[in-house]
Amino acid sequence: MTFLRRVLPWLVLAAALTILIGFAMPSYRQGEASIAGRTAPQFTFEHDGKQMRLADLHGKVVVVNFWATWCPPCVEETPLLNRLEQRIASRGGVVLGISVDEDPDAYERFLQDQKVAYPTFRDPSKKIPLEYGTSMYPETYIVDRHGRIARKIIGPQQWDSPDMLAYLDHLLGQS
């Protein structure tokens, strides 16, 4: 009985750590299969002074990125998203940023300072990220040409990694 009393807490701790490590693994967090194939929730936004809907981008691969100016990983990811927009725009892809910033001045300053080259708009109500199930920033949903969620990415992404570029090239090559 004494042996069991000494070992049991360590076994419980080891099991808990194993579960936590499993949930923290990128392979668990990236590309949630549970939402892949679902129709992307619709929303409206203003771009170049014109009201648009996500459905207006049907036929394009859309990288929907939820971000904020106060989020350090979002700031680090912005130049990579700029380069991604340049890479995919001519092939029927678009990066669409959705900021949850409440301060319009901070948002505008960020766009200028970071030279954001992809369409983005501000949703201070956070209604759109809530509808998508976004719980942290940055969080990104890749929507295929048919308006279905192909992949959900939690946290910052290395958008120019060979694996990510190959994945996007595959989606862009589909009709």
Distances (CA, A) of 25 to 21, 22, 164: 6, 5, 17
Same-domain check for residues 24 and 57? no
Same-domain check for residues 130 and 74? yes
Q: How buried is residue 95: exposed, middle or buried, by Cβ count under 10 Å (0-12/13-18/19+)?
A: buried
Same-domain check for residues 5 and 72? no
Q: What is the CATH number of the domain that holds 39?
A: 3.40.30.10
Same-domain check for residues 161 and 116? yes
The pLDDT profile of the chain, 175 residues, written as one tens digit per residue, is: 677 678 777 766 766 666 666 555 444 445 545 788 899 999 998 888 889 999 999 999 999 999 999 999 999 999 999 999 999 999 999 999 999 999 999 999 999 999 999 999 999 999 999 999 997 999 999 999 999 999 999 999 999 999 999 999 999 998 7
Q: Which residue has the tokens 């901070």?
A: 106
Q: Which domain holds residue 22?
A: 1-30
Same-domain check for residues 13 and 95? no
Tell me which DSSP letter residue 92 carries: T
Same-domain check for residues 26 and 87? no
Same-domain check for residues 20 and 97? no
Same-domain check for residues 108 and 57? yes
Same-domain check for residues 168 and 137? yes
Same-domain check for residues 16 and 102? no
Same-domain check for residues 97 and 114? yes
- Residue 74 in contact with residue 137, Cβ under 8 Å? yes
Residue 46 is predicted with a pLDDT of: 84
Total number of domains constituting the chain = 2
Residue 37 is predicted with a pLDDT of: 87
Same-domain check for residues 42 and 23? no
